[in-house]
């Protein structure tokens, strides 16, 4: 990471390092509790109880943000944090299209619809985006 004119710039190596840290945090969620200035949309302890397919969806969310940032790096050697924030915001979904882990667990099988499943997957993708963004801000 470089500091130019008081602004952080990230190079490809910095993004790769954050991607690896974000992916590893799924194995060791305690890494997400070290930086208290960043507010996550979820309690990192839920990562201990998620099933493999749910973790794969979170990994997909991490990869989506990584790929979006990588696209920005195809024409630049380094990008500002503001560009990364813009990439992160572009992947955000409205709250009305999300069902959190807690809400999903409260849903009975009878009340579970395709929309509920889709909104839960959206939430898991958002968790992945948040994890990647978390490490970019550390």
Question: How many distinct structural domains can be found in the chain?
Answer: 1
The pLDDT value given to residue 138: 78
Whether 28 has a pLDDT exceeding 70, the answer reads yes
Q: Own/partner pairs for 84-88, CB < 8 Å, 24+ apart?
A: 84/10, 84/133, 84/136, 85/133, 88/129, 88/132, 88/133
pLDDT tens-digit readout, 56-93 = 999 999 999 999 999 999 999 999 999 999 999 999 99
Of the pLDDT bands very low, low, confident and very high (cuts 50, 70, 90), residue 33 is: confident
Q: State the pTM of this model.
A: 0.92
Of the pLDDT bands very low, low, confident and very high (cuts 50, 70, 90), residue 3 is: confident
The pLDDT value given to residue 58: 97
For residue 33, give Cα distances in angstroms to 15, 42, 66, 91, 106.
20, 11, 21, 23, 26
Alpha helices per DSSP H over 12-100: 12-24, 52-72, 81-90
DSSP 11: E
pLDDT tens-digit readout, 94-118 = 999 999 999 999 998 888 999 999 9
Whole domain around residue 103: which residue ranges?
2-136
Average pLDDT rounded to a whole number, residues 6-22: 94
């Amino acid at each position: 990471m470089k500091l130019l004119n008081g602004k952080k710039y990230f190079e490809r190596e910095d993004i790769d390092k954050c991607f690896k840290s974000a992916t590893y945090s799924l194995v060791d969620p305690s890494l997400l509790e070290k930086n208290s200035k960043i507010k996550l949309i979820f309690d990192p302890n839920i990562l201990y109880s998620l099933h493999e397919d749910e973790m794969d969806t979170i990994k997909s969310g991490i990869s989506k943000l990584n790929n979006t940032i990588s696209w920005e790096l195809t024409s630049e050697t380094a990008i500002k944090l503001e560009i990364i924030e813009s990439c992160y915001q572009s992947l955000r979904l409205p709250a009305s299209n999300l069902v959190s882990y807690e809400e999903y667990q409260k849903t009975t099988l009878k009340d579970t619809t395709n929309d509920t499943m889709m909104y839960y997957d959206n939430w898991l993708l958002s968790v992945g985006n948040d994890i990647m963004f978390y490490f970019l801000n550390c």
